[in-house]
Amino acid sequence: MGKKLLKKLDEAVSYLQKQYKGNPVAGIVLGSGLGSFTAEINVLKEVRYEDIPHFPVSTVAGHSGKLIFGTLSGKEVVAMAGRFHLYEGYEPEDIVFPVRVMKMLGVQTLLLSNAAGGVNPAFKVGDLMIIKDHISFYIPNPLMGKNTDELGPRFPDMSQPYNHALIAKAKTIAANAGFDIKEGVYVAVTGPTFETPAEYRMIHNLGADVVGMSTVQENIAARHMGVDVFAISVITDMWHTDHVQTISHEEVLEAARNAEPKLARIFRELVGSL
Ligand code: HPA
């Protein structure tokens, strides 16, 4: 498996290096409803996922499916417009394939974003939350199976899943911009169902602040390869202790779109500071 994976990664990377000659320093992954961030990038080259050897192809509404190379705040970046989720039926190894490709293209910092449900009663829809740690809740670890030693160690350290220096910078950016930013723990579930009331309560009792269907596997693959990760959740719906709240994918997308300008500011200035 290890050798086959390396060969696939090499083929994807050589294809992309033919399409784009630069050296991106940061990778950006845009979550549900946050794709308009790509307008911030001075685009130099776009490559459709379906054209990249071995790349998975996204299926969910709100994800367009291309890799965008360009500059942001004067730094070279590569952004994924559209990501891959377990609930779409992909293998964990496919979900993290693009993260590995980005690292092999030169990326040392990965910025992740997502839409998430809030279980911390102090949060409200539209808030941003810096992810300081995560709990993987019954989702398969993407590093299960034979380790590919060329990528990273068998037993990766996870003492700093989200980079402390980047978190500190993001807090300063939000403070200077004059908006409130939360910080907390993300629980990853597979989806595609949103949680039942009992599940939200349990996630709250676990000590988490938000729950979502992405990010953790990408984080693990990035940390495996020594990439620094920063991640942010947009709170798109709230669990309430006193009444039952219905949720739809459309509401999630709309709340994410509304909060996108704040996220854009953080990502723009963080990349500028690299
Ligand atoms: N649960 C899981 N994933 C989510 C949610 C949620 O409430 N909101 C957005 N993504």
Is the predicted pLDDT of residue 246 greater than 90, yes or no? no
pLDDT for the residue 248: 86
- What pLDDT sits at residue 64? 57
Residue range 174-186, pLDDT digits in tens: 999 999 999 999 9
* DSSP alpha helix (H) spans, the chain: 2-19, 92-95, 97-104, 164-177, 197-205, 216-224, 249-272
User: Hey, where are the domains in the chain?
Assistant: 2-273
Say if residues 67 and 58 touch (Cβ distance below 8 Å): no
Taking residues 138-152, report their average pLDDT.
92
Which one-letter amino acid corresponds to residue 156?
A: P
The Å distance, Cα 195 to ligand 1 centre, comes to 8
Closest ligand 1 atom to residue 239 Cα is: 7
C-beta of residue 236 within 8 angstroms of C-beta of residue 33: yes
CATH class of 2-273: alpha beta
The number of the ligand 1 atom at minimal distance from the alpha carbon of 117 is 7
What mean pLDDT do residues 128-147 have? 93
Residue 120 to residues 109, 188, 271: CA-CA distances in angstroms? 28, 15, 29
Q: Which atom of ligand 1 is nearest to the CA of 247?
A: 7
pLDDT higher than 90, residue 35: no
Q: Which ligand 1 atom is nearest residue 195's CA? A: 1
Lowest mean pLDDT among 43-47, 137-141, 170-174: 137-141
Q: Which pLDDT band, with edges at 50, 70 and 90, does 2 fall under?
A: low
Mutate which of 112, 138, 237, 248 for ligand 1 pocket (most atoms within 8 A of beta carbon) = 237
Using a 6 Å CB cutoff, which residues line ligand 1? 115-117, 189, 191, 194-195, 211-213, 236-237, 247, 252
pTM attached to this predicted model: 0.94
Tokens of 86: 């377990």
**Helix 97-104 crosses helix 2-19 at what angle (to 10 degrees)?**
60
- Given a cut of 70, whether residue 61 has pLDDT beyond it is no
Lowest mean pLDDT among 159-163, 166-170, 253-257: 253-257
pLDDT of residue 264 exceeding 60: yes
Average pLDDT, the chain: 92
Rounded to whole angstroms, what are the CA distances from 91 to 62, 190, 217, 238?
21, 12, 11, 29
**The pLDDT of residue 57:** 78
- pLDDT average, residue stretch 230-257: 87
CB-based burial label for 28 (10 Å; 0-12, 13-18, 19+) = buried
Which of 236, 246, 251 is the pocket-test mutation for ligand 1 (most atoms within 8 Å of CB)?
236
What is the Å distance from ligand 1's center to 105 Cα?
31
Q: Ligand 1 centroid to 194 CA: how many Å?
A: 6
Model confidence pLDDT, tens digit, residues 206-216: 999 999 999 99
